[in-house]
Homo-oligomer: A and B are copies of this chain.
Amino acid sequence: MKMSKMFMPTLREVPAEAVVASHRLMMRSGMLRKLGNGLFTYLPLGLRSFRKVENIIREEMDAAGALEFKPSVVVPGEIWRESGRWETMGEGMLRVKNRVDQELVVSPTAEEAFTALLRGEISSYKQLPMNAYQINTKYRDEIRPRYGVMRGREFTMKDAYSFHADEESLDETYRAMGKAYRRIFRRCGLSVIPVKADSGAMGGTGSEEFMVESEVGDNNLILCPKCGYAANDEKASCAPDPVTSGPGSAPAGKAFSPVETPNVRTIEELTAFLKTVPQAFIKTLVYRAVNSELDLSSAPGCAKLDRVTPASSPAYYPESFFAVCVRGDLDVNEVKLAATVKASEVELASDRDVERLTGAPVGFAGPVGLSSVPVIADLSVTAMHDAVTGALKADLHYEHVEPGRDFTPWLTADVRTVKAGDRCPVCGDAFYAKKGNELGHIFKLGYKYTKSMNMLYLDENGKQQYPMMGCYGIGVDRTLASIIEEHNDDDGILWPMSVAPFQVAVVPIKYEGAMKDAADRLYAELSAAGIEALLDDRNERPGVKFKDMDLVGIPVRIVVGDKNLPNVELKLRSSKDASLIPLEGAAAKAAEIVRASLAELSAPSGED
């Protein structure tokens, strides 16, 4: 394409709100413009790279045997009511009533749409497994959209949904998707960190997130430098700690006893008052669980709870309360906690509820003698000795508490927030932490949607069965932005060849006379060779042209100057050095570089 036919409004300055490199460079290079809050327009340059990312994803999905569908973006609210997510998706889902009062949803994801579609089509085990995908518009009403398309409201997602007769088949597709994802990101030139992730509100039994490191990432990644263990902190575990207690602790046999702690409520105040360390305290927090599947009233002393028993999904308790004990220097991870109690959400109980349930003001809860709610103890607590706890009375604590002796948890579980410095559960080395953004997610859903939406098939024995399901998503826009985050310098973008908007830039110093002839020839030869060339035929100073080409980040540049002809200057965007080569054969040389680079990016790796 010739620049004169292109629309590529490069900017020297960018809006103040563009604080991350990808947003800034997508604005500056003329790839993107803002249309509204979290709503963007791809300009022609940006769309070229966008489509390349999309096509890499499509090729790898097709190669893995998935089939592309195209459901509508606007879908009936009715199917979201069936799955139960009409209630649970929250305000992030854009709901509309149309003129004839039908409820509609602008799709944030499509488990419902694909289950609704395929339950009408799949009737026999012979039709399984099936892996169906789309690459389509999604909308999620982010409260604070930012970082350009990295966290927009409307975005394009590749989302796939697989259906299986048994777990083995689900495992097989899940693994195939994991491989396909590794290939996709590798072909895009991205370094991703695959991490075990929490299953979140989607429910299910196995999942992997594909993360890229990012200063502004939403996720805290817990990484082991030695064995490669990698997990989102919403899921990470660590090796058990050695037994801990305060300095100069009493022998194990000593009975617990009350200690007056007037107006002392926080851990900080306590450690100062008792002249000890946070590691010596058992912190007890009272939580409220929403829609827990566990009967948290089954502990002795607990009041019976309301229970809801839906026809096709597990029974749950709309509201229940419980206490969590964790070592004083640690934090409770609420995502892990919600998974532990199988609840859609957990939150700290209100002060009123704490007082009602513990009989004491906030700050004096403790596990000893607590019977109105069940006690869940973090694994860290079981390794404690000679601990301090609240005494369920204002201004009173207990000293010399021994877990197991003085209280018995209703449940012991891993609910702490794992941090840098904690030990790897696999190899014992100390973790480090990074912030990351999720680009992709593969996920075993199990029966969640097929049961709630009543999708059935006949097995080999003619018996009705629910298929198992997996789902697999990639954010196209976010992947594109992440490529720029990983590949840029002070001058602009450095595109991997596979996703560059153009592969070769032909830049005549002036587009006239012999330089024009040579540039036109190069452009014609490159185009004939199937190379995507951009010819800068503008009447601009060479400095402006070079700056623009560096900003836009085209991988190969050929400069045609009067002084050098019949030689031309070949330069890679990634290198400082240029070389003079004859015009004759220069296009072939550039084409060779392009092809070698593409081949390298799509070469199989040991992971395949």
By a beta-carbon cutoff of 8 Å, the part of chain A in contact with chain B is 5-7, 9, 33, 35-37, 39-44, 46-47, 50, 65, 67-76, 78-79, 91-92, 94-96, 98-100, 102, 104, 106, 113, 116-117, 120-121, 127, 130, 132, 137, 139, 141, 143, 153-154
A and B contact pairs by CB, cutoff 8 A, 17 listed? A5-B65, A7-B130, A35-B76, A36-B78, A36-B102, A37-B102, A39-B75, A40-B71, A41-B70, A41-B117, A50-B70, A73-B137, A74-B94, A74-B139, A74-B154, A94-B96, A100-B143
A137, B92: Cα distance in complex, Å? 21
A143, B76: Cα distance in complex, Å? 15
Question: In the complex, are the beta carbons of A106 and B96 less than 8 A apart?
Answer: yes
Query: A36: which B residues are within 8 A, CB to CB?
Result: 72, 75-76, 78-79, 102, 104
Which one of A73, A91, A143 has the greatest number of beta carbons of chain B within 10 Å? A73
Q: Knowing A72-B36, A76-B35, say if A7 contacts B67 (CB, 8 Å).
A: yes
A153, B72: Cα distance in complex, Å? 10
Q: Knowing A44-B68, A141-B98, say if A33 contacts B120 (CB, 8 Å).
A: yes
Question: In the complex, are the beta carbons of B154 and A41 less than 8 A apart?
Answer: no
Query: A79: which B residues are within 8 A, CB to CB?
Result: 36
**Other contacts beyond A36-B75, A36-B79, A47-B69: 17, CB < 8 A:** A7-B127, A35-B75, A36-B76, A39-B72, A39-B74, A39-B76, A40-B71, A41-B71, A41-B117, A42-B71, A46-B70, A47-B70, A74-B106, A91-B99, A95-B96, A96-B106, A99-B143
Query: A43: which B residues are within 8 A, CB to CB?
Result: 69
Closest to A96 in B: B96
Contact of A44 among B41, B69, B73, B116 (CB under 8 A): B69
A104, B154: Cα distance in complex, Å? 12
A444, B46: Cα distance in complex, Å? 28
Question: In the complex, are the beta carbons of A33 and B117 less than 8 A apart?
Answer: yes
Contact of A72 among B40, B47, B99, B104 (CB under 8 A): B40
State the oligomeric state as a number of copies.
2
Query: A104: which B residues are within 8 A, CB to CB?
Result: 36, 94
A92, B100: Cα distance in complex, Å? 11
Closest CB-CB distance, A29 to chain B, in whole Å?
Answer: 14
A65, B44: Cα distance in complex, Å? 12
Question: In the complex, are the beta carbons of B70 and A113 less than 8 A apart?
Answer: no
Question: In the complex, are the beta carbons of B35 and A47 less than 8 A apart?
Answer: no
Question: In the complex, are the beta carbons of A113 and B74 less than 8 A apart?
Answer: no
Nearest 7 CB-CB pairs, A to B?
A36-B76, A42-B70, A41-B71, A91-B99, A39-B72, A72-B154, A44-B67
Query: A44: which B residues are within 8 A, CB to CB?
Result: 67-69
A127, B30: Cα distance in complex, Å? 15
Q: Knowing A67-B6, A94-B98, say if A121 contacts B72 (CB, 8 Å).
A: no
Query: A46: which B residues are within 8 A, CB to CB?
Result: 70
Which one of A46, A65, A141 has the greatest number of beta carbons of chain B within 10 Å? A141
A117, B92: Cα distance in complex, Å? 26
Q: Knowing A47-B68, A143-B100, say if A41 contacts B137 (CB, 8 Å).
A: no
Closest to A154 in B: B72
Query: A100: which B residues are within 8 A, CB to CB?
Result: 143
Question: In the complex, are the beta carbons of B113 and A41 less than 8 A apart?
Answer: yes
Query: A102: which B residues are within 8 A, CB to CB?
Result: 36-37
A563, B40: Cα distance in complex, Å? 61
